[in-house]
Every structure is written in structure tokens, then in C-alpha cells.
Amino acid sequence: MRTQVAIIGAGPSGLLLGQLLTRSGIDNVVLERQTPEYVLGRIRAGVLEQGAVAMLDEAGVGARLHAEGLVHGGIELTWAGERHRVDLNALTGGKNVVVYGQTEVTRDLMDARQASGATSVYEAADVAVDGFDSNRPTVRYRKGGTAHALECDFVAGCDGFHGVCRQSVPTGAIRSYERVYPFGWLGLLSDTPPVSKELIYVSHERGFALCSMRSLKRSRYYLQCSLEDKVEDWSDARFWDELRRRLDPRAVADLVTGPSIEKSIAPLRSFVAEPLRFGRLFLAGDAGHIVPPTGAKGLNLAASDVRYLFDGLVEHYRRGRSVGLDAYSSRALRRIWKAERFSWWMTNLLHRFPENGPFGEKMQLAELDYLFSSKAALTALAENYVGLPY
């Protein structure tokens, strides 16, 4: 088989790139290790920046997002038992975010890909990328016991943090920067109405909590937990009890609980690989970088990477110019590092770090107090939360 762009991974970055390329007449094949059902079963992000929404519109998959997504013009932060609103819309001259689950984004992209007739290979095993330092890369994989080779012009490594593409690069050619946080997030999804109209980020002495949502009938809650915790340690009753202990009195009164439909623990990590281009292999999304979820930036960074990579590929195929592809890594990394900084800052501000002791907690409280007394400081939070320009 031969194609122009071989895309490894059918997460949001791979599917979005594929859809944009298909609509521009650039042939592409998506290779995914898992089944579509497995990919759709992973509960992850919920908040989209306007830039990501615009990309999904450009890919022709914005209809359901606009019909069902919830436009949010603010978020709330709780500390010392009181809730404080950040008016994102007013602080950014009219920008908002849209609450629409990653599962739904992925489903919309999968449906559009199927309708377009573009080739996707799910359950592709032992994917290996060869010859990306030459003009003729080849991606090898096995499907149903048979070996296949896919020849291509370019390989887009959209295969997430644990994918094969970054691991295929010789160690001397890549540099990694990493911080692993000493805690995780325990997430719970339930078919209950959200506790509040907007997201609530909670700083509490027992640990961080987040009240989010997927719709007006489906809620998503998170608790900072220990890295030793197992999901089995957390019955629904224990989860709701712990959440109540971290919420303000009004939220406790408003909270509607119910059986969980999903519960999982995610470790928190900051990670960046440099560069993001190796000959004809390009890394995009979580394959090249990870942010802790506190700033809601992971999926949005995947979209901005795809913006730069797609533009570079279009320029190559339409005009025979390589300026955009040559600049891909440095352009993407400039935005990535700023989102890394914001996510690291939000994480440090709102979580309990036992090793920082009482002094560290006082610093967090002073920073929160300052934040809500300074329009300049709140504006900095707001403009990062809604997303920096591409």
C-alpha cells in the first residue's frame, strides 16, 4: 500500500489531521493499535479552546459540537472554603471555552472519516516506522497475523505518550524534559446534573478537587489522590464523601450524587520532547508532550500542533515549498512551552504538595489572595485558560 501521509494513532490529533488532509485532497492512512470502541471508551478531556473549535469547524465536524457543546464564559476557584469566579469572557475581550467531551470529538471525527471513505486500519499490531531519514519512509505493521508495509512521503506520529514513533528516534537526536508530580487524579463520571453551571477548581488542605461536566445531565469530578491508590480502593460512596469534604458549603448542598459510570486514576506529568521533527517523521499531540490536566491544555495543544503540521503539509503539496514543515517543530514548541508553563503553574497553585510543608501552603494562599485582588494577574490566568493565539 502507498499513501502520501501515514498517520500513526487515531486519537484526536491523528483523526483531526487526517480529516483536514482528506478535505484538502491529500491522501492519508490512519493506523491505530486499538479498536474504535476502545479509543472511544477512554474518558479524558472536556474543555476546548476557541482555536480548537475553529479547527474542528474547518475539518467539517463542528455541527454537533455547536449544537450540544456548552459555552462557558467563566470558571470558579475555591480556596479557604469560598468560591471566586474568574470572568474569562470579560477578562479576554469576549473569549470563551466550550465544554464538549474528547469522546464526542473523537466520535465526530471517526464518523466523518468513515463517511469520507479514507482508509483507517484499527487493531494494527507491531507498528514500526522505517526510513524516515530518507525520502521514502515505510510503516510496517501486522493485521490479523499478516505483515503489511505502507510506503509514504511523511509519517505523522500522533500515537500518544506511549506510542512507537518517539521511541523510534535515535536517543542522541532527541532531548526530553520532564516533571512527574507526586500524586494522581481520580476521575469519576456519573449521569447526574453538574453541581454548578461552570467548572469549579478547588484548592483544599485535603487535596485538589475539580467539578466538571460533559452535559447538563452528565458530570465529571476529579480528586487529587495518592499514586499508591487503586481505583478498587475507591467505592463511589468514598469518592462522594471525600469530594464533599473538599467543596464549599453551597456546593455540598447542591451536589447530586449517583452511581459512577466510569472511574479511573491518571498520573500527572509535564513532558516535552525536542525537536518534534526527524527527517520525514513529525510528532504531534501527546506523542511529543504531556501537560498535567489542571490547565485543560492537552487536547488543545494537539489541535495547535495539527494546525502547524497541516499548514506545512498543504504548502508542500500545493506549492512545493518546505518553509512550513521546516518551521513546524520550532513554531509548535513555542506554543507548547507556554501551555506547559501555565499547566505547571495551575498544578502548583492548587494541589497539596506535602514536601513543600506549611510554608508552601502559605505561598499558595498568598498567591490566590493576590490573584483575586489583581486584575492583571487574573487576566494572565484568563488569557492562558482560553488559549493563547496560534
- Return residues touching ligand PHB (CB under 6 A): 45-47, 199, 210, 212, 220, 293-294, 296
Q: From its phi and psi, is residue 132 left (phi > 0), alpha (psi between -120 and 50) or beta? A: alpha
Q: Write the CB contacts of 200 (distance below 8 Å, at least 6 apart in sequence).
A: 75, 76, 77, 78, 83, 209, 210, 211, 247, 251
Interaction of residue 44 with ligand RFL, rule CB under 6 A: yes
Query: Which partner in ligand RFL, ligand PHB, none is near 98 (CB below 5 to 8 A by kind)?
Result: none
222 an active-site residue?
Answer: no
The one of ligand RFL, ligand PHB, none whose footprint includes residue 220, by CB under 5 to 8 A per kind, is ligand PHB
Supply the minimum distance, in Å, between the C-beta of residue 214 and ligand PHB.
7
Q: Which residues contact 86 (CB under 8 A, 6 or more apart)?
A: 74, 75, 76, 77, 378, 381, 382, 385
Give the per-residue contact string, 192-231, with ligand RFL (x = CB under 6 A; - = no).
----------------------------------------
Q: Which of 289, 297, 316, 351 is catalytic?
A: 297
Rounded to the nearest whole angstrom, what is the least distance from the CB of residue 223 to ligand PHB in the complex?
12
Choosing from 266, 314, 377, 380, the residue that interacts with ligand RFL (CB under 6 A) is 266
141 is catalytic: no
> CA-to-CA distance for 96 and 83, rounded, in angstroms?
20
Inter-residue long-range contacts of 270-273, CB under 8 Å, 24+ positions, other chains counted:
270/177, 270/178, 270/179, 270/181, 270/340, 270/343, 270/344, 271/161, 271/176, 271/177, 271/178, 271/179, 272/176, 272/177, 272/178, 272/333, 272/336, 272/337, 272/340, 273/166, 273/174, 273/175, 273/176
Question: Rounded distance, CA 306 to CA 58, Å?
Answer: 12
Q: Of these partners, ligand PHB, ligand RFL, none, which one is at the site of residue 272 (CB under 5 to 8 Å by kind)?
A: none
Q: And the C-alpha cell for 8? A: 500513526
Residue 59 makes contact with ligand RFL by CB under 6 A: no
Residue, CB closest to ligand PHB: 46
Q: Which stretch binds ligand RFL (CB under 6 A): 18-26, 79-87, 152-160, 325-333?
A: 152-160
Name which position in 13, 347, 364, 384 contacts ligand RFL (CB under 6 A). Answer: 13
Q: Please, which of residues 78-107 interact with ligand RFL by CB under 6 A?
A: 102
Of residues 51, 73, 157, 160, which one binds ligand RFL by CB under 6 A? 160
The single residue among 7, 10, 350, 381 that binds ligand RFL, judged by CB under 6 A, is: 10
| Cα Rg, the chain, nearest whole Å | 21
C-alpha cell recorded at residue 322: 518546505
Alpha-carbon gap, residue 316 to 143, rounded angstroms:
31
Name the residues that contact ligand RFL, by CB under 6 A.
8-14, 31-34, 39, 44-47, 102, 124, 127, 158-160, 162-164, 185, 187, 266, 285-286, 293, 296-300, 302
Residue positions annotated with a catalytic role: 72, 201, 293, 297, 385
